[in-house]
A and B are shown apart, each in its own frame.
Chain A
Amino acid sequence: MHDFQFVLKSYLIKMKGVSKAPPRPDKLEICLAAIGSCLAFIIIGLMHTPFFDKTGLPLLMAPLGASAVLVFGASRSPLAQPRNVVGGHVLSAVIGVTVYQLFGGAYPITSICVAVPSAIAIMHISGTLHPPGGATAFLTSYGGLGVHELGYWYVLSPCALGSIVLVLTALVFNNIHKDHQYPQFW
Protein backbone atom coordinates (compact mmCIF):
# COMPACT_ATOMS: atom_id res chain seq x y z
CA MET A 1 0.00 0.00 0.00
CA HIS A 2 2.80 2.32 0.98
CA ASP A 3 4.64 1.44 -2.23
CA PHE A 4 1.56 2.19 -4.29
CA GLN A 5 1.22 5.61 -2.67
CA PHE A 6 4.85 6.32 -3.37
CA VAL A 7 4.54 5.26 -7.01
CA LEU A 8 1.35 7.28 -7.43
CA LYS A 9 2.93 10.35 -5.85
CA SER A 10 6.05 10.02 -8.03
CA TYR A 11 3.80 9.69 -11.04
CA LEU A 12 1.60 12.66 -10.23
CA ILE A 13 4.49 14.91 -9.27
CA LYS A 14 5.80 14.64 -12.83
CA MET A 15 2.76 16.60 -13.95
CA LYS A 16 4.05 19.68 -12.15
CA GLY A 17 6.68 20.11 -14.87
CA VAL A 18 10.35 20.70 -14.29
CA SER A 19 11.39 23.53 -16.52
CA LYS A 20 10.66 27.07 -17.53
CA ALA A 21 9.38 28.00 -20.97
CA PRO A 22 12.12 29.13 -23.33
CA PRO A 23 12.42 32.94 -23.50
CA ARG A 24 10.37 34.90 -26.00
CA PRO A 25 12.37 35.77 -29.11
CA ASP A 26 13.00 39.45 -29.79
CA LYS A 27 10.57 41.69 -31.67
CA LEU A 28 12.44 41.56 -34.98
CA GLU A 29 12.36 37.78 -34.87
CA ILE A 30 8.61 37.79 -34.30
CA CYS A 31 8.04 40.31 -37.11
CA LEU A 32 10.17 38.33 -39.55
CA ALA A 33 8.29 35.12 -38.74
CA ALA A 34 4.97 36.85 -39.41
CA ILE A 35 6.15 38.52 -42.63
CA GLY A 36 7.77 35.32 -43.92
CA SER A 37 4.67 33.23 -43.42
CA CYS A 38 2.48 35.96 -44.94
CA LEU A 39 4.74 36.04 -48.00
CA ALA A 40 4.65 32.25 -48.31
CA PHE A 41 0.85 32.13 -48.35
CA ILE A 42 0.62 35.03 -50.81
CA ILE A 43 2.83 33.00 -53.18
CA ILE A 44 0.99 29.74 -52.55
CA GLY A 45 -2.36 31.52 -52.85
CA LEU A 46 -1.42 33.20 -56.16
CA MET A 47 -0.16 29.90 -57.57
CA HIS A 48 -3.24 28.10 -56.33
CA THR A 49 -5.73 30.40 -58.00
CA PRO A 50 -4.66 30.59 -61.67
CA PHE A 51 -3.00 27.23 -62.16
CA PHE A 52 -4.32 24.74 -59.74
CA ASP A 53 -7.97 25.73 -59.66
CA LYS A 54 -8.24 24.80 -63.33
CA THR A 55 -6.56 21.44 -62.87
CA GLY A 56 -8.67 20.69 -59.85
CA LEU A 57 -5.54 20.07 -57.80
CA PRO A 58 -5.48 22.36 -54.77
CA LEU A 59 -2.24 23.91 -53.52
CA LEU A 60 -3.66 25.19 -50.27
CA MET A 61 -4.27 23.00 -47.26
CA ALA A 62 -4.62 23.75 -43.56
CA PRO A 63 -1.56 21.75 -42.36
CA LEU A 64 0.68 24.11 -44.33
CA GLY A 65 -0.30 26.80 -41.82
CA ALA A 66 1.17 24.62 -39.07
CA SER A 67 4.29 24.05 -41.18
CA ALA A 68 4.68 27.80 -41.59
CA VAL A 69 4.79 28.15 -37.78
CA LEU A 70 7.85 25.92 -37.71
CA VAL A 71 9.53 27.07 -40.92
CA PHE A 72 9.27 30.78 -40.07
CA GLY A 73 8.68 30.78 -36.30
CA ALA A 74 11.24 28.17 -35.26
CA SER A 75 13.40 27.82 -38.36
CA ARG A 76 16.36 26.38 -36.43
CA SER A 77 14.30 23.46 -35.24
CA PRO A 78 15.13 20.06 -36.71
CA LEU A 79 11.38 19.72 -37.22
CA ALA A 80 11.41 22.72 -39.59
CA GLN A 81 14.09 21.56 -42.01
CA PRO A 82 13.29 20.87 -45.69
CA ARG A 83 13.48 17.09 -45.42
CA ASN A 84 11.07 17.18 -42.50
CA VAL A 85 8.61 19.59 -44.10
CA VAL A 86 8.40 17.90 -47.50
CA GLY A 87 9.08 14.35 -46.31
CA GLY A 88 6.71 14.67 -43.34
CA HIS A 89 3.78 15.86 -45.46
CA VAL A 90 4.37 13.43 -48.34
CA LEU A 91 4.78 10.33 -46.17
CA SER A 92 1.84 11.28 -43.96
CA ALA A 93 -0.33 11.92 -47.01
CA VAL A 94 0.60 8.55 -48.53
CA ILE A 95 -0.37 6.87 -45.26
CA GLY A 96 -3.56 8.93 -44.92
CA VAL A 97 -4.74 8.31 -48.49
CA THR A 98 -3.90 4.60 -48.22
CA VAL A 99 -5.90 4.30 -45.00
CA TYR A 100 -8.78 6.16 -46.64
CA GLN A 101 -8.66 3.77 -49.60
CA LEU A 102 -8.66 0.77 -47.28
CA PHE A 103 -11.51 1.90 -45.05
CA GLY A 104 -13.31 3.88 -47.71
CA GLY A 105 -14.19 6.64 -45.29
CA ALA A 106 -16.75 4.39 -43.59
CA TYR A 107 -14.93 4.38 -40.23
CA PRO A 108 -13.42 7.86 -39.88
CA ILE A 109 -12.33 7.50 -36.25
CA THR A 110 -10.66 4.16 -36.94
CA SER A 111 -8.96 5.68 -39.98
CA ILE A 112 -7.55 8.52 -37.91
CA CYS A 113 -6.46 6.13 -35.15
CA VAL A 114 -4.52 4.09 -37.71
CA ALA A 115 -3.18 6.89 -39.91
CA VAL A 116 -1.84 9.36 -37.33
CA PRO A 117 0.19 6.88 -35.24
CA SER A 118 1.52 5.27 -38.44
CA ALA A 119 2.54 8.69 -39.75
CA ILE A 120 4.36 9.47 -36.50
CA ALA A 121 6.20 6.14 -36.61
CA ILE A 122 7.13 6.42 -40.30
CA MET A 123 8.28 10.03 -39.93
CA HIS A 124 10.42 9.04 -36.94
CA ILE A 125 11.92 6.05 -38.75
CA SER A 126 12.66 8.08 -41.88
CA GLY A 127 14.07 11.05 -39.97
CA THR A 128 11.39 13.38 -41.28
CA LEU A 129 9.39 14.12 -38.13
CA HIS A 130 7.21 17.14 -38.84
CA PRO A 131 4.21 17.72 -36.53
CA PRO A 132 1.96 19.18 -39.27
CA GLY A 133 2.39 15.82 -41.01
CA GLY A 134 0.12 14.45 -38.28
CA ALA A 135 -2.56 16.90 -39.38
CA THR A 136 -2.09 15.81 -43.00
CA ALA A 137 -2.48 12.15 -42.01
CA PHE A 138 -5.53 13.05 -39.91
CA LEU A 139 -7.29 14.99 -42.64
CA THR A 140 -6.50 12.68 -45.52
CA SER A 141 -7.35 9.45 -43.71
CA TYR A 142 -11.06 10.21 -43.40
CA GLY A 143 -11.33 11.67 -46.85
CA GLY A 144 -11.38 15.37 -45.96
CA LEU A 145 -9.76 18.10 -48.05
CA GLY A 146 -10.94 16.64 -51.35
CA VAL A 147 -9.06 13.38 -50.88
CA HIS A 148 -12.27 11.63 -51.80
CA GLU A 149 -11.98 13.00 -55.35
CA LEU A 150 -8.20 13.16 -55.76
CA GLY A 151 -6.91 9.95 -54.20
CA TYR A 152 -3.11 9.67 -54.47
CA TRP A 153 -2.95 12.86 -56.58
CA TYR A 154 -3.46 14.59 -53.27
CA VAL A 155 0.05 13.49 -52.27
CA LEU A 156 1.48 15.40 -55.24
CA SER A 157 -0.59 18.49 -54.69
CA PRO A 158 -1.05 20.10 -52.28
CA CYS A 159 1.19 17.98 -50.06
CA ALA A 160 4.43 17.78 -52.08
CA LEU A 161 4.06 20.97 -54.10
CA GLY A 162 2.63 23.07 -51.26
CA SER A 163 5.40 22.08 -48.88
CA ILE A 164 8.07 22.59 -51.58
CA VAL A 165 6.83 26.14 -52.26
CA LEU A 166 6.83 26.80 -48.51
CA VAL A 167 10.42 25.57 -48.21
CA LEU A 168 11.56 27.57 -51.25
CA THR A 169 10.01 30.72 -49.81
CA ALA A 170 11.76 30.07 -46.50
CA LEU A 171 15.01 29.41 -48.34
CA VAL A 172 14.85 32.87 -49.89
CA PHE A 173 13.33 34.77 -46.98
CA ASN A 174 15.01 33.19 -43.95
CA ASN A 175 18.51 33.87 -45.30
CA ILE A 176 18.01 37.62 -45.78
CA HIS A 177 18.76 38.46 -42.13
CA LYS A 178 22.52 38.27 -41.55
CA ASP A 179 22.17 36.15 -38.41
CA HIS A 180 19.68 33.71 -39.85
CA GLN A 181 20.44 30.60 -41.83
CA TYR A 182 18.02 28.18 -43.40
CA PRO A 183 18.18 25.27 -43.66
CA GLN A 184 20.27 23.90 -40.84
CA PHE A 185 20.55 20.69 -42.87
CA TRP A 186 19.03 19.19 -45.98
Chain B
Amino acid sequence: MPGKRETDTAMATLNNSLTTEHRIKISEDDITEGMKALKAYIDITPTDFKKLYEIVYAFAKKRILHEILAEDIMVKPVYTVRQTESLYALISFLAAHKISGSPVVDDSGALVGVVSEKDILRKMGYGQDIHLMQLLAAMLEKPVALDTNSGMVKIDKIMTAPALCLNLAETLIDIIKKFDGKAINRLPVVDNNNNVVGIITRANIICTISNLF
Protein backbone atom coordinates (compact mmCIF):
# COMPACT_ATOMS: atom_id res chain seq x y z
CA MET B 1 0.00 0.00 0.00
CA PRO B 2 1.29 3.47 -0.80
CA GLY B 3 1.92 5.94 1.99
CA LYS B 4 -0.90 8.35 2.78
CA ARG B 5 1.09 11.37 1.62
CA GLU B 6 1.89 9.74 -1.71
CA THR B 7 -1.74 8.79 -2.19
CA ASP B 8 -2.90 12.28 -1.35
CA THR B 9 -0.40 13.76 -3.79
CA ALA B 10 -1.62 11.47 -6.54
CA MET B 11 -5.23 12.27 -5.69
CA ALA B 12 -4.40 15.96 -5.83
CA THR B 13 -2.83 15.43 -9.25
CA LEU B 14 -5.94 13.66 -10.43
CA ASN B 15 -8.13 16.40 -9.02
CA ASN B 16 -6.03 19.17 -10.57
CA SER B 17 -6.35 17.58 -13.96
CA LEU B 18 -10.04 18.39 -13.79
CA THR B 19 -11.00 22.02 -13.36
CA THR B 20 -13.46 22.79 -10.62
CA GLU B 21 -16.28 23.54 -13.02
CA HIS B 22 -15.78 20.26 -14.86
CA ARG B 23 -15.84 18.10 -11.78
CA ILE B 24 -19.14 16.42 -11.05
CA LYS B 25 -20.98 18.74 -8.73
CA ILE B 26 -24.59 18.45 -7.80
CA SER B 27 -26.66 21.45 -6.95
CA GLU B 28 -29.42 21.69 -4.40
CA ASP B 29 -31.81 22.13 -7.33
CA ASP B 30 -30.68 18.75 -8.69
CA ILE B 31 -31.41 17.23 -5.30
CA THR B 32 -34.81 18.88 -5.08
CA GLU B 33 -35.65 17.57 -8.56
CA GLY B 34 -34.46 14.10 -7.50
CA MET B 35 -36.64 14.22 -4.40
CA LYS B 36 -39.63 15.20 -6.53
CA ALA B 37 -38.93 12.31 -8.89
CA LEU B 38 -38.91 9.94 -5.93
CA LYS B 39 -42.40 11.24 -5.08
CA ALA B 40 -42.14 10.13 -1.44
CA TYR B 41 -41.37 12.44 1.47
CA ILE B 42 -37.71 12.28 2.48
CA ASP B 43 -36.88 13.85 5.81
CA ILE B 44 -33.57 15.39 4.85
CA THR B 45 -32.90 18.91 3.62
CA PRO B 46 -31.27 19.38 0.20
CA THR B 47 -28.27 21.00 1.93
CA ASP B 48 -27.69 18.03 4.21
CA PHE B 49 -28.16 15.67 1.29
CA LYS B 50 -25.56 17.62 -0.70
CA LYS B 51 -23.10 17.51 2.18
CA LEU B 52 -23.68 13.79 2.57
CA TYR B 53 -23.31 13.25 -1.17
CA GLU B 54 -19.99 15.08 -1.27
CA ILE B 55 -18.60 13.08 1.64
CA VAL B 56 -19.86 9.80 0.18
CA TYR B 57 -18.52 10.71 -3.25
CA ALA B 58 -15.06 11.39 -1.83
CA PHE B 59 -15.12 8.05 0.02
CA ALA B 60 -16.30 6.22 -3.09
CA LYS B 61 -13.62 7.85 -5.25
CA LYS B 62 -10.89 6.92 -2.80
CA ARG B 63 -12.20 3.36 -2.50
CA ILE B 64 -12.45 2.89 -6.26
CA LEU B 65 -8.94 4.23 -6.79
CA HIS B 66 -7.67 1.68 -4.27
CA GLU B 67 -9.92 -1.21 -5.26
CA ILE B 68 -9.33 -1.43 -8.99
CA LEU B 69 -6.17 -3.42 -9.61
CA ALA B 70 -3.80 -3.66 -12.54
CA GLU B 71 -5.06 -7.16 -13.29
CA ASP B 72 -8.63 -5.82 -13.60
CA ILE B 73 -7.87 -3.32 -16.34
CA MET B 74 -4.83 -4.76 -18.14
CA VAL B 75 -5.11 -5.92 -21.72
CA LYS B 76 -4.08 -9.50 -22.45
CA PRO B 77 -2.59 -11.37 -24.15
CA VAL B 78 0.35 -9.07 -24.73
CA TYR B 79 2.42 -8.95 -27.87
CA THR B 80 6.02 -9.29 -26.71
CA VAL B 81 9.28 -9.40 -28.63
CA ARG B 82 12.47 -11.28 -27.76
CA GLN B 83 15.56 -9.26 -26.99
CA THR B 84 17.59 -11.29 -29.51
CA GLU B 85 15.39 -10.39 -32.48
CA SER B 86 16.44 -7.75 -35.00
CA LEU B 87 15.15 -4.23 -35.45
CA TYR B 88 13.69 -5.24 -38.83
CA ALA B 89 11.80 -8.11 -37.23
CA LEU B 90 10.56 -5.70 -34.57
CA ILE B 91 9.29 -3.16 -37.11
CA SER B 92 7.49 -5.90 -39.09
CA PHE B 93 6.02 -7.25 -35.86
CA LEU B 94 4.75 -3.85 -34.70
CA ALA B 95 3.38 -3.09 -38.17
CA ALA B 96 1.59 -6.46 -38.37
CA HIS B 97 -0.14 -5.89 -35.04
CA LYS B 98 -0.67 -2.15 -35.54
CA ILE B 99 0.97 -1.31 -32.23
CA SER B 100 3.54 1.35 -31.45
CA GLY B 101 5.62 -0.46 -28.88
CA SER B 102 6.08 -3.69 -27.02
CA PRO B 103 7.63 -5.22 -23.91
CA VAL B 104 10.87 -7.04 -24.54
CA VAL B 105 11.39 -10.45 -22.93
CA ASP B 106 14.26 -12.90 -22.60
CA ASP B 107 14.09 -16.58 -23.55
CA SER B 108 12.30 -17.43 -20.32
CA GLY B 109 9.61 -14.82 -20.97
CA ALA B 110 10.83 -12.48 -18.23
CA LEU B 111 10.60 -8.75 -18.83
CA VAL B 112 13.95 -7.14 -19.70
CA GLY B 113 12.86 -3.86 -21.27
CA VAL B 114 10.38 -2.03 -23.44
CA VAL B 115 10.75 -0.84 -26.97
CA SER B 116 8.68 1.86 -28.62
CA GLU B 117 8.50 3.96 -31.77
CA LYS B 118 10.69 6.48 -29.99
CA ASP B 119 13.52 3.92 -29.53
CA ILE B 120 13.26 2.83 -33.17
CA LEU B 121 13.28 6.39 -34.49
CA ARG B 122 16.25 7.22 -32.33
CA LYS B 123 18.17 4.33 -33.86
CA MET B 124 17.08 4.94 -37.43
CA GLY B 125 17.52 8.69 -37.14
CA TYR B 126 21.27 8.37 -36.58
CA GLY B 127 21.05 8.39 -32.83
CA GLN B 128 19.16 11.61 -32.54
CA ASP B 129 16.00 12.07 -30.52
CA ILE B 130 13.69 12.59 -33.41
CA HIS B 131 9.95 12.58 -33.76
CA LEU B 132 8.14 10.70 -36.49
CA MET B 133 7.10 13.88 -38.29
CA GLN B 134 10.63 15.29 -38.11
CA LEU B 135 11.95 12.10 -39.64
CA LEU B 136 9.32 12.16 -42.40
CA ALA B 137 10.13 15.80 -43.12
CA ALA B 138 13.85 14.93 -43.38
CA MET B 139 13.06 12.00 -45.68
CA LEU B 140 11.04 14.23 -48.03
CA GLU B 141 14.16 16.30 -48.51
CA LYS B 142 16.68 13.46 -48.51
CA PRO B 143 15.51 9.83 -48.66
CA VAL B 144 18.77 8.61 -47.09
CA ALA B 145 17.84 10.38 -43.87
CA LEU B 146 16.72 7.00 -42.65
CA ASP B 147 19.54 4.82 -41.33
CA THR B 148 18.56 1.59 -43.08
CA ASN B 149 21.83 -0.12 -42.10
CA SER B 150 20.64 -0.45 -38.53
CA GLY B 151 18.06 -3.08 -39.43
CA MET B 152 20.03 -6.01 -38.08
CA VAL B 153 20.69 -4.43 -34.72
CA LYS B 154 19.36 -6.57 -31.90
CA ILE B 155 16.43 -5.23 -29.93
CA ASP B 156 18.35 -5.34 -26.64
CA LYS B 157 20.66 -2.65 -28.04
CA ILE B 158 17.85 -0.15 -28.61
CA MET B 159 15.27 -0.98 -25.96
CA THR B 160 14.70 1.05 -22.83
CA ALA B 161 15.91 -0.95 -19.85
CA PRO B 162 15.23 -1.53 -17.07
CA ALA B 163 11.59 -1.23 -17.93
CA LEU B 164 9.09 0.51 -15.72
CA CYS B 165 6.40 -2.04 -15.03
CA LEU B 166 3.40 -2.76 -12.86
CA ASN B 167 2.59 -5.67 -10.58
CA LEU B 168 -0.73 -7.44 -10.86
CA ALA B 169 -1.86 -6.14 -7.49
CA GLU B 170 -1.04 -2.47 -8.03
CA THR B 171 -4.03 -0.22 -7.54
CA LEU B 172 -5.47 2.31 -9.96
CA ILE B 173 -4.00 5.16 -7.93
CA ASP B 174 -0.53 3.54 -8.09
CA ILE B 175 -0.92 3.06 -11.83
CA ILE B 176 -1.92 6.70 -12.35
CA LYS B 177 1.09 7.76 -10.26
CA LYS B 178 3.44 5.72 -12.43
CA PHE B 179 2.14 7.32 -15.61
CA ASP B 180 2.00 10.79 -14.07
CA GLY B 181 4.52 13.22 -15.48
CA LYS B 182 6.23 10.67 -17.69
CA ALA B 183 6.12 10.55 -21.46
CA ILE B 184 5.05 6.92 -21.56
CA ASN B 185 1.98 5.45 -23.15
CA ARG B 186 2.05 1.89 -21.86
CA LEU B 187 3.33 -0.10 -18.94
CA PRO B 188 3.73 -3.87 -18.95
CA VAL B 189 2.19 -5.82 -16.08
CA VAL B 190 4.32 -8.62 -14.64
CA ASP B 191 3.58 -11.52 -12.30
CA ASN B 192 5.75 -12.59 -9.38
CA ASN B 193 8.20 -14.30 -11.75
CA ASN B 194 8.64 -11.09 -13.75
CA ASN B 195 6.79 -12.68 -16.67
CA VAL B 196 4.73 -10.27 -18.76
CA VAL B 197 1.05 -11.08 -18.29
CA GLY B 198 -0.65 -7.93 -19.55
CA ILE B 199 -0.25 -4.34 -20.55
CA ILE B 200 -1.91 -1.12 -19.45
CA THR B 201 -2.08 1.87 -21.74
CA ARG B 202 -3.20 5.42 -21.02
CA ALA B 203 -6.33 4.54 -23.00
CA ASN B 204 -7.11 1.71 -20.55
CA ILE B 205 -6.98 4.16 -17.67
CA ILE B 206 -9.20 6.65 -19.47
CA CYS B 207 -11.69 3.87 -20.29
CA THR B 208 -11.67 2.65 -16.69
CA ILE B 209 -12.33 6.11 -15.31
CA SER B 210 -14.97 6.94 -17.91
CA ASN B 211 -16.77 3.66 -17.14
CA LEU B 212 -17.16 4.81 -13.55
CA PHE B 213 -19.51 7.59 -14.66
Taking Cβ atoms with an 8 Å cutoff, the residues of A that contact B are: 18-23, 25-26, 28-29, 73-77, 79, 179-180
Whether the Cβ atoms of B47 and A73 lie closer than 8 Å is: no
In the assembled complex, which residues on chain A have CB atoms less than 8 Å from the CB atom of B44? Answer: 22
What's the A-B contact tally at a CB cutoff of 8 Å? 47
Contact A29–B40 (Cβ < 8 Å): yes
Residue pair A73, B41 in contact (C-beta under 8 Å): yes
Q: Are A180 and B40 closer than 8 Å at their CB atoms? A: yes
* 23 A-B pairs in the complex with CB atoms less than 8 angstroms apart: A18-B45, A18-B47, A19-B28, A19-B45, A19-B48, A20-B45, A20-B47, A21-B45, A22-B42, A22-B45, A22-B46, A23-B35, A23-B36, A25-B39, A26-B39, A29-B41, A74-B41, A75-B40, A76-B41, A76-B42, A77-B43, A79-B43, A179-B39
In the complex, the answer to whether B28 meets A22 with C-beta atoms within 8 Å is no
Chain A CB within 10 A, most for which of B35, B40, B44, B46: B40
**Min CB–CB distance B36 → chain A (angstroms):** 5
Residue on B nearest A76 in the bound complex, by CB? B40
Which residue of the partner chain A has the closest CB to B45?
Answer: A19
CA distance A77 to B39 in the complex (A): 14
Q: Is the CB of A20 within 8 A of B39?
A: no
Give the shortest distance, in Å, between A99 (CB) and chain B (any CB).
29
- List the B side residues contacting A73 at CB < 8 Å: 41
The answer on a CB contact under 8 Å between B35 and A22 is yes
| Chain B stretch 32-57: residues in CB contact (< 8 A) with chain A | 32, 35-36, 39-48
Given A19-B28, A20-B28, A20-B32, residue A29 in contact with residue B45 (CB < 8 A): no
Which residues of chain A have C-beta atoms less than 8 A from B35's C-beta? 22-23
**Residues in chain B near residue A26, CB distance under 8 A:** 39
Question: Hey, which chain B residues are within 8 Å of A79, CB to CB?
Answer: 43
Q: 3 closest Cβ contacts across the A-B interface?
A: A19-B47, A19-B45, A25-B41
Contacts of B39 in A (CB 8 A): 25-26, 28-29, 179
Inter-chain contact A20/B41, CB cutoff 8 Å: no
Set of chain A residues within 8 Å of B41, measured between Cβ atoms: 22, 25, 29, 73-74, 76
Given contacts A18-B45, A19-B45, A20-B28, 12 further A-B contacts (CB under 8 A): A18-B47, A19-B47, A20-B45, A20-B47, A21-B45, A22-B43, A25-B39, A28-B39, A29-B41, A76-B41, A179-B39, A179-B40
Contacts of B45 in A (CB 8 A): 18-22
List residues of chain A with CB within 8 A of the CB of B42. 22, 74, 76-77
Q: How far is the CA of A63 from the CA of B93 in the complex (A)?
A: 81
B114 nearest CB across to chain A (Å): 53
CA distance A108 to B147 in the complex (A): 102
Residues of chain A within 8 A (CB-CB) of B43 are 22, 74, 76-77, 79
CA–CA, A180 and B48, complex, Å: 23
| Distance between Cα atoms of A29 and B41 in the complex (Å) | 8
Q: Smallest distance from the beta carbon of B194 to chain A beta carbons, Å?
A: 50
Bound complex: CA A105 to CA B32 (Å):
47
Q: For the complex formed, measure the closest distance between the CB of B66 and the CB atoms of chain A, giving whole angstroms.
A: 29
Which B residues touch A74, using CB under 8 A? 41-43
Q: Which residues of B contact A76 (CB under 8 A)?
A: 40-43
Shortest beta-carbon distance from B40 to chain A in Å: 6
- A173-B44 Cα distance, complex, nearest whole Å: 24
A23 touches B47 (CB 8 A): no
CB atoms of B40 and A23 under 8 A apart: no
Interface centre among A21, A23, A29, A79 (most CB of B within 10 A): A23
